[in-house]
Chains A and B, each alone.
Chain A
Amino acid sequence: MTTLPQSTERRLGLAIDLDICVGCHACVINCKEWNTSNYGAPLSDMDAYGANPVGTFLNRIHTFEVKSEGCNAQTVHFPRSCLHCEDAPCVTVCPTGASYKRQEDGIVLVNESDCIGCGLCAWSCPYGAREIDRAEGVMKKCTLCIDRIYNDNIPQEDRMPACVRTCPAGARHFGDFADPESNVSKLSAERGGMELMPEQGTKPVNRYLPPRPKADIATDGDIDVLAPFLAPIEEKQGGFISWLDKALEAI
């Protein structure tokens, strides 16, 4: 059924810390690696070694600049993937029922054997979370690594989405937003977790933790705070080397 559940028992999702993300794309690569070899059709690349490579990815990292009046510009790396919305328009527009939201944990999934590849779900998603796979002709999207988080065959510490597991900076957190005591709920409450495009009325589950305000560095026009410590220091040497140095300088 492509009607949405009234409510879900759990609300699994990600809290993504924009203050921490360094834009290394490790999550993109690990996502592609895991999801190309596990649940569903592989994430294909077209013309991978040619002039115009294009491929399916479930996670993309943008880099933005934020500049406010009188302050230095700030760089923010911004991972973009499915937000597993509570009011997911991608589910209700689907004509076949291939696109659905799970009652038990709120994960939005595509049943690929029912997907006709009409693309309407991608049209309805404000976040660009869905991409048609050009080899299989079916819609691909983040599964929240459903084949990792419930997988009894892998070690406990690996039972989280591939992007979270691999992030070297610890910018990505996985948990249940329905539980106020969960890591992600606490983080989001503490840091003012943001919804993306709330005006679209999708009620996303994932939260983005805003960059912390940068400390104002008092400068007298010279932004390089380390400069005083790096000024060349005259080496004072005595003895023969010092005499030789002076003698050679004099020639």
Chain B
Amino acid sequence: MHPAPSVILFTSLSGLGFGLLLFLGLGVLDVSGWVAFAFCFVAFGLSVGGLMASTFHLGNPQRAMKAFKQWRSSWLSREGVAAVAALTVMGAYCAAWIFLNMRIAALGFLGALLCLATVFCTAMIYAQLKTIPRWNQAMTPVMFLSFMFAGGALLSAQLSLAAVLLAITTIVQLLHWMLGDRRFGEAGSDIGTATGLGGLGKVRLLESPHSGTNYLLSEFCHTVGRKHAQKLRGIGIVAIGVVPVALLTFAPHSHATAAIAVLSHLIGLLSTRWLFFAEAEHVVGLYYDKHRHAA
């Protein structure tokens, strides 16, 4: 899949933002006034910024409002509805907290649930796609949600909890890769089923429909990411989990320690999210003989 910056920023930043909002809604922070404002500002900046980024790849962003209509059937629509609901409820909760120094626990709990629902919907947009077997597995929502919890704990300064959640996230990410590597084979699609000619013998592409490229090839048949997948996985694991967990466990807790841990996690998150798209193979590549999965 083409790793478009808009979707990478969208899934990474909004995941972090909703994660932080979730922890704020649960009332884990014993702060008020300007400090509360700063935390809310970061949370809304990340979640709203991420959602805005997602509109950059739209062909007709001026019609984006229409995307709230089909929540009965579409995970993308559900995600939009859940995001607006989460931001509205958490907006009210944060306003009461900052300006009235009032913590409405029920409202915060509802907001936290809606944040959880939003990130789950985001994950399901990808996990529902049978055409991209690597994403079409139960570990996809688990991975998105663990990133959300770990990132939220880290940003809301729950450093001991964050260390545990980051370690879990790292394991979940490794599992997603391990299970993901097998998914294309398990899905059972090959050039034989794609053409229906598999029963007649060994099928290979003799001539492409066009000498140049097209939308399908540039959107679905990205091959550079697959080439460097192993290196990026290594970098990702170190940055997401190893560095932050080591810092939070062994270094004295301070703003500097937390800042380095957050920066490292962010770099890891962006690089693994890039890989999430770049190494995912779409079955349409079979028609173009672009499937380069380990045989």
A contact set with B: CB distance below 8 Å? 1-3, 18, 23, 28, 52-57, 60-69, 71, 74-76, 78, 80, 89, 92-98, 114-120, 122-128, 131-134, 136-139, 194-201, 208, 210-211
Question: Which of B59, B63, B64, B129 is in CB contact (< 8 Å) with A123?
Answer: B129
Question: In the docked arrangement, what's the CA distance between A208 and B66, Å?
Answer: 37
Measuring CB to CB, which residues of chain B are less than 8 angstroms from any residue of chain A? 1, 57-61, 63-64, 66-70, 72-77, 80, 125, 128-132, 187-189, 191, 193-197, 199-210, 212-216, 219-220, 282-284, 287-288
Task: Tell me which of A92, A117, A132, A198 contacts B193 (CB under 8 A).
Answer: A198
Q: How long is the Cα–Cα vector from A18 to B73 in the complex, in angstroms?
A: 36
Asked, given contacts A115-B59, A116-B66, A197-B193, whether A80 binds B287 with beta carbons under 8 Å apart, the answer is yes
- B107 CB to nearest A CB, Å: 28
- Taking A97-B70, A197-B283 as contacts, is the C-beta distance between A137 and B60 under 8 angstroms? yes
A117 to chain B, nearest CB (A): 2
Are the CB atoms of B194 and A197 closer together than 8 Å?
yes
Decide: A95 and B215 in contact? CB cutoff 8 A. no
| Nearest 9 interchain pairs by C-beta | A117-B59, A137-B59, A68-B201, A194-B196, A95-B77, A60-B209, A63-B207, A95-B67, A128-B284
Which residues of A are found within 8 Å of B130, using beta-carbon distances?
Answer: 89, 124, 126, 200-201
Distance of A75 Cα from B200 Cα, bound (Å): 12
Contact B201 A200 (CB under 8 A): no
Q: How far does the Cβ of B289 sit from chain A's closest Cβ, in whole Å?
A: 9
Is A200 in contact with B203, judged by CB distance below 8 angstroms? Answer: no
- List, in ascending order, chain A residues with CB within 8 A of B57's CB: 118-119
Using A54-B214, A116-B63 as known contacts, say yes or no to A92 and B73 having CB atoms under 8 A apart. yes
B128 to A116, Cβ gap below 8 A?
no
Closest chain B CB from A5 CB (angstroms): 12
Task: Known A95-B69, A116-B64, A117-B58; judge A195-B209 contact (CB<8 A).
Answer: no
